[in-house]
Structure formats: structure tokens, C-alpha cells
Amino acid sequence: MIPGPKIIRLTGESFPFCTKVHVNLTPSITPEQAHFIGGEFTKHCEKLFEGCPVDPRDEMNINLILAPAGIPVPPGHYFLIIKPSDITLASETYEGLLYAWQTLKQHLYNTAYFTETGTDIECLQIADWPSFPWRGLHLDVSRHFFDYKFVRRYLDWMAAFKLNKFHWHLSDDQGWRIESKRFPLLHEQGAWRTEADGSSYGGYYTQRQIKLVLKHAEERGIEVIPEIDVPGHAMAILAAYPDLACFPQEFQTLSVWGISEDILCAGKDSVIDFLKDLFTEVAELFPGQYIHLGGDEAPKARWKECPHCQQRIAGQNLANAGELQSWLVQTLAQHLQGLGKTVIGWDEILDGNIDSQPVVMAWRGDGIAAARKAHDNGNRYIICPNSKLYFDWKYLADKNLPGAHGVTTLQDVYHLDLAQYRFQNKKLFLGGQANLWTEHVPDSRTAKDLLGWRIYALSELFWSDPQTKDYSEFWERIWAMREIF
């Protein structure tokens, strides 16, 4: 199973699985939740056991218990108990029940594959819980656009491996991707770019499609974190609203990769008002706790020349353009906190002075220096080190394989040593995620190929956090599950 459960005991018994399932629910489970889990059961069991011999007289009882455990248990904890008489999934939370179901599903797959008759399943008892609350996967939909149906499949893959945070990179220099009711030029203009061959490329999600994705995520216990990257990586915004630049001119949504010198002006009050309005709209659309406001790779050349930015630096007693960026982050973070949200930013947000409220994503290099800096400043942090958890990198050193820059193998991901990121206050280390940037990922097939088996290692890292690692044992478990993914 992946991720490997914390405590597992095989009882030595087994019994013939029956596809005729009777599900018993505690009343604490809502009809929507029951409908979702019940539907998943039926769908998966029918598919898995299609054509297998089953005993037509039997009906199997599955108990779904959503109730206090009666003993102190960690967040996300669940029990899975498989007996010849019945199967019980129990948790204090809906998410925990989903985790139990994913574990049961994997167990059924393994069993179905390995037994002679294809129907016997082994009895067991599992108690399991995640080591980290943040187990994430990111998707850049700006460099290449992936429609909302693909995004739902992406969430299915995440759910199968108990990943619970979907980081949706919705804006960048190469395209803006959400319908905005307040600033419609963002999607009417900023969602499109002209490629070198003269063709138009782009797309965006309507607010209705976003709601469909959010419902899909909620059913699967996944929180969606929207990222609107500011003040850099904002050429699509500037193409729609050029007055937001330090020096307005006609801007184009970019069709080449890289870092743009043109960024949003942090000096003009009109820009601050625009960003507050925009983030308010985003906060209303996305019900989750977190909003990501980017903050990476914002060159300060324009700010150094801009009279508005210079006036802001003087007026706020800031030392330089670096501190102006942290002033901007701080201003937007306070606005979003007023709306009940928690802000996340890439580790550059630590370059000036920020308070301990924003959550930091440590990405540069191995992320250790950034994680320590966040920790020492009292900020919670999530790791996604560029050198280990960027899944747009190739999974093998073969120039014919898809992917960018360097190489991050399955072994590299599995062997990432989390102890390097743990400092005195362990609670500040929320967990980690892998990022899938899409400059070199033109389509969904390539995206899936790049996730590949590395998603297993990601899941294992932040759910199981194995204290001793055994790659060949891990490999055995991957092999047993290869039919699923």
C-alpha cells in the first residue's frame, strides 16, 4: 500500500469478497458524503471484480463510522478493520473516512491481483494517520492550459494517495486563467497569447467550472489553494490593464518562458486598490483557508526607476525595493486576513521584513535555508525544493524523455531527508508538495507521465514519513499497485 500505513496487522484470516455490499452509516455522515462514498464503493468494486467468481448468496456489510474515537487520536486518523463478518471504516472526520476507503481500495486491488480465484481478501486491522497536515501537489495552468475535466482527474490521482492540498497556479506571464467578474479584461485578453507561428493559444476557467472543480475537491477531502502570482510573473495582467505597470505601455501576454522585468507597480494606490479588489473576488470564489499570492522572481529594475515606487519607499520608511516587496505582501496579507484567509507566498517573501502570519513555500535550491529563515521568523512553512520536488524535471537522465532542466528520480524523491527541514519548533513545518510547472508540459499525457510513480514517493514522504527507508521494500509496494494508476 502507498502511502504505507502506520500500524498494520494481518490477522491470518481471509474470506471471499462479495460485490453485493450493504453499507451501514452513522447518522453523522451527510447524504452527500454517503452518496459519494457509496457511489465510489459500487463503481470500484464492480470494475475490480468484474468477471470474478463470487458467492451470489452472500451480502457483505461495510460499516462507515464517523464518530469520536473515544481515545485521543491525531488529525486525519482512521481505523480500517476487515473481518470475515464485515468491514469497518472509522474516523472522527470525513477526510479520515476517505483515507480509510483509499486504503481499502488499494488492499482490494492487491488482493484481487494476487489470489488464485481473484476474490479472496485478507483480513487485517489498520490504524493510520498522516505525519504532516500539508501533502500537496501543484499544477501550473498558465504556461499550458489544462481544462477543468483534466483538473478533476488530477484531483482523483491526488485523492488515491491521500494528498490533500491542490495548489492551482492560475496566473503567470503566459496567461491568466480565471473568469473575473470585476476585471473581465483579465480573461478576455490576459487568457490569450500569440504564439511564434501567429496562432492564438489560451483559455480560462469560467466561475461555474471552478465551482465544479471545488465540489470535486471537497468530496475527496482536498483543499484547493488558488495562486495569483504578484507582483512579478504578471505580464498577462499587464496585457489586460497596462496602467498597473510602473511605466504603462502596450504589453503582450508572453509566448516565451523566463522572467519579465516588467512587474506590477507597488507605488500607485490604484494598483493596491486593484489587487485588494482582485483578491477579494478570489477569496469569495475559493472557500478554503489559504490564498497564495506568489511573490517569486520579481526583478526590481522598474521599481528602482519609478517615481511612485520611490515615493512609497520614502513614505513608508523602507530601506529599498526589496522591502517594498515585503510591504506589498504585508499589505495584501492583512487585507486577506481581514477576509478570514491565510496568505502563502514563495520564499522570496522573506527577503524583506514580514511578520509571522504568512505561510512560506521554501522552493529555492534545496529549500533548507528558506525553511530555516521561515522557522526563525516564526512563520509556518511548506517545502517544495526545486532540486527534489519539481516534477517538471525529468525522472531519468534521458534527453528523449519529457521534462525540463534537471533530473529528479523516483529514488531522489523517496530519499529526500525531511530531518533537514525540522528545527526547534516542529509545528511550523506543515509538510510539503511537488510542483508541476508546465513550460515543457504541453498536454495532459505528458503531465501524467511526469507525475508518474514520483507521486507515490511524494505521498509516502509526507504521509508516512518513514524513519528508516528501504527503497526495495517501497518498490515492492509500488509493483503491487501498478494497476491502479
In single-letter form, the type of residue at position 216 comes to H
Cα 217 to Cα 154: distance, rounded to the nearest angstrom: 10
In this structure, are residues 108 and 86 in contact, taking their beta carbons and an 8 Å threshold?
Answer: no
**Binding status of residue 286 toward ligand ACM by CB under 6 A:** no
In whole angstroms, the minimum distance from the beta carbon of 256 to Zn ion comes to 24
Q: Which SS3 state, helix, strand or coil, does residue 206 take?
A: coil
Q: Is the distance from CB of 187 to CB of 175 less than 8 angstroms?
A: no
The C-alpha cell that represents 418 in the structure block:
525531511
With CB under 6 A, what is the number of residues at the site for ligand ACM?
A: 4
Nearer to ligand ACM, 80 or 228 (CB): 228
Binding status of residue 363 toward ligand ACM by CB under 6 A: yes
381 contributes a contact to ligand ACM by CB under 6 A: no
Burial of 82 (0-12, 13-18, 19+ CB in 10 A): buried
Closest approach of Cβ 271 to Zn ion, in Å? 8
Q: Where are the alpha helices (DSSP H) in 377-416?
A: 410-414
| Shortest Cβ 363–ligand ACM spacing (Å) | 5
265 binds, among ligand ACM, Zn ion, none (CB under 5 to 8 A by kind): Zn ion
Residue 393: CB minimum distance to ligand ACM, A: 11
H or E element, residue 267:
none
Counting contacts by CB under 6 A, is residue 449 touching ligand ACM?
A: no
Q: Residue 206 has which C-alpha cell?
A: 469560467
Interaction between residue 297 and ligand ACM (CB under 6 A): yes
Residue with smaller CB distance to Zn ion, 163 or 329: 329
Residue among 337, 190, 187, 361 at smallest CA distance from 276? 337
40 binds, among Zn ion, ligand ACM, none (CB under 5 to 8 A by kind): none
Query: If binding is defined by CB under 6 A, does position 346 make contact with ligand ACM?
Result: yes
Q: Which residue, 346 or 462, has its beta carbon nearer to ligand ACM? A: 346
In the complex with Zn ion, which residue's Cβ is closer, 146 or 303? 303
Give contact residues for Zn ion (rule: CB under 5 A). 246, 265, 267, 306, 308-309
Which partner in Zn ion, ligand ACM, none is near 246 (CB below 5 to 8 A by kind)? Zn ion
Q: Which partner, Zn ion, ligand ACM, none, binds residue 313 by CB below 5 to 8 Å per kind?
A: none
Answer yes or no: are the C-beta atoms of 431 and 418 closer than 8 Å: no
- CB nearest ligand ACM: which residue? 296
Nearest in space to 148 (alpha carbons), one of 165, 164, 172, 170: 170
Q: Which of 88, 109, 128, 115 is nearest to 15 (CA)?
A: 115
Binds 308: which of ligand ACM, Zn ion, none (CB < 5-8 Å by kind): Zn ion
Between helices 321-338 and 307-315, what is the axis angle to 10°? 70
Q: At what angle do helices 31-48 and 94-114 cross, to 10 degrees?
A: 10
Contact status: 277 vs ligand ACM (CB under 6 A): no
**CA 235/CA 251 separation, integer angstroms:** 7
Q: Which does 363 bind (CB under 5 to 8 A by kind): ligand ACM, Zn ion, none?
A: ligand ACM
Q: Which does 306 bind (CB under 5 to 8 A by kind): ligand ACM, Zn ion, none?
A: Zn ion
CB of 312 to Zn ion, least distance (A): 8
- What whole-number distance in Å separates Cα of residue 80 and Cα of residue 219? 20
Least CB distance to Zn ion at residue 303 (A): 5
Of 250 and 269, nearer to Zn ion (C-beta) is: 269
CA–CA distance, 109 with 160 (Å, rounded to integer)? 12
Q: How far is the CB of 346 from ligand ACM (least distance, A)?
A: 5
Q: Which residues bind ligand ACM (CB under 6 A)?
A: 296-297, 346, 363
